[in-house]
Structure 1
Amino acid sequence: LIVLAVPIQTMRATLEKMIEHTAPHAVVTDVGSVKQYVVRELEPLITGKRSLVAAHPVAGKETTGAAAADPALFRDRRVIITPSAKSTPEAINKIEQLWDETGACVEMMDAATHDAILARSSHLPQAVSSVLAAALDTEKIGDKLAAEYGAGGLRDTTRLAASSWEMWRDIFVTNREAIVAALKLYGGTFAEFQRAVETGDIVGVEKIFNRGREMREKLR
């Protein structure tokens, strides 16, 4: 069993150096946040009776490195498996068992659906957090740095901005089209909110505010 846990654009080169030394029935899987690119890049390397079962544990932190390890990270969290032409039933079962052992909840979907969903539910929040933090980085009112006066709300909404650029660089490159669609979705709602504030349409502001609160309350 080979689990690729490296930046997405390095997965192919990493596996190329390993594959000839693996067992004839080896199963290759990954933990990348983009699945179409991973499947497209890795499938040509899966020869003989070897299998590929692409997977994505939808859990993580903004911290990196061994010191940030958490044995309970995947418990009760979703892991998405995206079977492909190189996924045998036996290999899929093996990866399901692997993630079951961590306490995760496994489900399957096609790679394109995964990438579209994650662009909205994971990649967009990262972009929003990072852009907000960048906008406030040096923003001053008089001689006061605005960000220094932020409390829990600012810390919570910019938490993801501390994430590893090396990992996110590859996500933005390899899932670009889906992320652009997600940014347009957000941009449309943000523009609607901005117009309502600018025109004093407090009813419009309230509607968007309440839509946001309802969505937040649905999150587990």
Structure 2
Amino acid sequence: MLGKVVIVGVGLIGGSFALALKAAGAVREVVGLERSPQALARALELGIVDVATTSPQEAMNGADLVLLAAPVAQTARILEALLPHLEPGTVITDAGSTKSDVAATARAVLGERARQFVPGHPIAGRESNGPDAALPDLYQGKKTVITPLPENAPGDVGLVAAAWRLCGAVIHTLTPGQHDSVFAAVSHLPHLLAFALVDDIAHKPHADLLFQYAASGFRDFTRIAGSSPEMWRDISLANRDALLTELDAYLAQLTALRARLAANDGPGLEAIYTNAQRARRAWSEAIETAEPPVPGSASNQEPQ
């Protein structure tokens, strides 16, 4: 049972965390700390938070756990605001999609008190944003990656893991560097590609005609281009080096595909398509086995 939990950023990720803890009966009080009075008021109206405030001092008084659920570029600003009110027993974690930069920021801002910061990343999401997008079962059966710092106390890491388990998540552990390399390939690059494709078509002189005939394949491939541009700008820049590596590899793959297409190389194209199909099916079967859908849940949503 958690006492006081503070959610910094009461949108989809933070709001779903709060709702899940409440649904589990695992928290006494949830306090929302947010820049936007409108978002705070809506979170209070929806029952996501019990107290809404724009005051870090009020929010941090007696807090057991603090979740930063804001764009990663805001991490330094938020930690600077929280630091003067950070009590010795309070643990801070985050939900950012990059971890090396967040860990470095925590050390730079918090100094020796970075030991109270345990980085994390829930692998779940939707293309919708804001308090109204929050769901109590968003994390059911989904992975949450924790990337502990060497200076973290085992008990603090355990607290963060326990909180996510109460939300229904399955805990995995990576180093910050491992995390960023993995997610550059399987999350950040796909988002970049989806944004790029939709932007390319939108700039064509006959864009209206093209969108008129875009069907389910286009919708499925580009769904994640409906995600927050601000958030994905920050993620792309924060994980720039790893993302550039993956983008270069993908460009090489496209060049190879183009060469086969230009050479009318049907067998070569089919070989690539067949390998991709086989890998996709194996991955899908593994996911279905490891993460059985929860009736009425959002477990079919792609990770962010």
Task: Tell me if structure 1 keeps the 8 A contact 2:106–2:114.
Answer: no
Match for residue 160 of structure 2? 95
Alignment of 1:94-133 (within 5 A): 94-133=159-198
Whole-angstrom distance in 1 between the partners of 2:222 and 2:125: 15
Whole-angstrom distance in 1 between the partners of 2:85 and 2:205: 57
> Which deviates further from its counterpart, 185-194 or 91-100?
185-194
Shift of 1:150: 1.1
**Ranges of 4+ aligned residues in structure 1 off by more than 2 Å:** 46-50, 138-141
Match for residue 32 of structure 1? 96
Shift of 1:37: 0.2
Equivalent residue for 2:218, pick from 138, 143, 154: 154
Shift of 1:47: 4.0
Q: Secondary structure at the match of 1:158?
A: helix
Is residue 201 from structure 1 mapped to residue 265 from structure 2 by the alignment?
yes
Q: Secondary structure at the match of 2:277?
A: helix
Equivalent residue for 2:79, pick from 1, 15, 21: 15
Q: Secondary structure at the match of 2:119?
A: strand
Task: Tell me if structure 1 keeps the 8 A contact 2:181–2:242.
Answer: yes
Shift of 1:58: 1.0
5+ residue gaps, structure 2, are 1-64, 288-304
The amino acid that maps onto 2:77 is A
The amino acid that maps onto 1:12 is A
Change (3 A) 1:49 1:168: closer
Question: What whole-Å deviation, never above 9, does each CA across 1:65-124 have from its counterpart, x for those lacking one?
Answer: 111112111111111110113311000100110110111110111100100000001001
Task: Tell me if structure 1 keeps the 8 A contact 2:103–2:119.
Answer: yes
Equivalent residue for 2:149, pick from 84, 89, 94: 84
Task: Tell me if structure 1 keeps the 8 A contact 2:144–2:170.
Answer: yes
Whole-angstrom distance in 2 between the partners of 1:18 and 1:74: 26
Whole-angstrom distance in 2 between the partners of 1:165 and 1:146: 23
Normalising by structure 2, we get a TM-score of: 0.69
Percent same amino acid among aligned pairs? 32
| Alignment coverage as a number of residue pairs | 219
Q: Secondary structure at the match of 1:56?
A: strand
The amino acid that maps onto 1:147 is F
5+ residue gaps, structure 1, are none
The amino acid that maps onto 1:75 is Q
Whole-angstrom distance in 1 between the partners of 2:242 and 2:113: 33
